[in-house]
A and B are shown apart, each in its own frame.
Chain A
């Protein structure tokens, strides 16, 4: 808690401050890992509970998991194509679930009640390290998908349909992870900031619609990230004729 300019005990804004953990020579952002472990733990608990006793007539949590599975399969199948979507479905699904759980967990769980010596707990996706990590994984994935499916013929993609496209396609390889990571990071951080600023100024009622908007944005961002990742992989494995 801090003090507002009016001397009232409102929640203070802490942006760009981190809880550092020193591991030997390297330093990591402790608050990001703490929240991500809690959220991954919740996700895995849900999955384990839901798959414990699966039946042909689904009951309870199994319904939810099957709905998610179906949703992710449709997403992967429409973007990647019938031929190889099975190989990439777990990756796309993990991206979607991890980002979704991170975004919603960051928005719904009252992390601010837990005091840290430095920085504050929040959505893991509001840290640029997380989003860049995810975006780089996507880049590696689509290169790997293209090369493993088509070998060196993957590079035909750079001169397709004409060699004039070559510089643009090369630039795209850099802009893809950049836009992926910054879109997610910016949206989630901006949402947290807007809510924090509104709470800071008008602590009652007014932030609530913005919070709902934030939940909506969070879900949309998870979907966009997963869809774009799948689209890039699909683009890399697509056969040109």
Chain B
């Protein structure tokens, strides 16, 4: 049975072409159709669906990220503006209170001055009237003394 390289044998041999060739070709073509139906189409569908899914998810995520970034800048701007307006309100309030304090101080000062003036004026007038009275009284008394002295004489 040990036989190497039966090239020229009438039956058998390495290069023995027969109906195996076309039948094998037909079998491979048939296998191509079967594998296309059982393997390439279904697996391709699943893989491509997944690729689409990943792609759309990625785009969606990118969109969402852009949205988030936009919202973040918006909020940051809003925060900045809010801070600015709060600062403004504080300054205004400080200025207001400062002004009010100054006004109140001025009013109080002027009132105090006015009442001081009034008091002084009153004191002056009273002193004058008292002086006048005193003067008239002294005059009267002097007159009386003179009369009395004249009468006694």
Q: Do A and B belong to a common assembly?
A: yes
| Interface residues in B, total, Cβ within 8 A | 42
Q: What 1/0 mask marks residues of chain A from 73 to 92 whose CB sits below 8 Å from any chain B CB?
A: 10000000000000001110
Closest to B53 in A: A56
Inter-chain CB contacts under 8 Å: number: 138
Interfacial residues of chain A within 1-43, with CB under 8 A of chain B in the complex: 2, 12-18, 23, 26-29, 32-33, 36, 40
Which residues of chain A have C-beta atoms less than 8 A from B24's C-beta? Answer: 32-33, 36, 124, 129-130, 133-134
Which residues of chain B have C-beta atoms less than 8 A from A128's C-beta? Answer: 14-17
Do A90 and B14 contact each other (CB < 8 Å), given the known contacts A13-B2, A14-B1?
no
Taking a contact as CB atoms under 8 Å apart, the answer to whether A129 and B18 are in contact is yes
Taking a contact as CB atoms under 8 Å apart, the answer to whether A54 and B23 are in contact is no
Q: Which of A93-101, A106-114, A145-153, A156-164 contacts B (4 or more CB under 8 A)?
A: A93-101
Closest to A130 in B: B24
A177 CB to closest chain B CB, in angstroms? 12
**Residue B7 is within 8 A (CB to CB) of chain A in the complex:** yes
Do A17 and B20 contact each other (CB < 8 Å), given the known contacts A40-B31, A65-B43?
no
21 contacts between A and B (CB under 8 A): A12-B1, A15-B5, A15-B14, A16-B5, A17-B12, A18-B16, A26-B18, A26-B19, A36-B24, A40-B31, A44-B38, A51-B38, A65-B39, A66-B46, A69-B40, A72-B40, A94-B36, A129-B18, A130-B20, A133-B25, A136-B25
Point out residues on B near A: beta carbons under 8 Å: 1-7, 9, 12-25, 27-29, 31-36, 38-40, 42-44, 46-47, 49-50, 53
Point out residues on A near B: beta carbons under 8 Å: 2, 12-18, 23, 26-29, 32-33, 36, 40, 44, 47-48, 51, 54-56, 58, 62, 65-66, 69-70, 72-73, 89-91, 93-95, 97-98, 119, 124, 127-130, 132-134, 136-137, 189
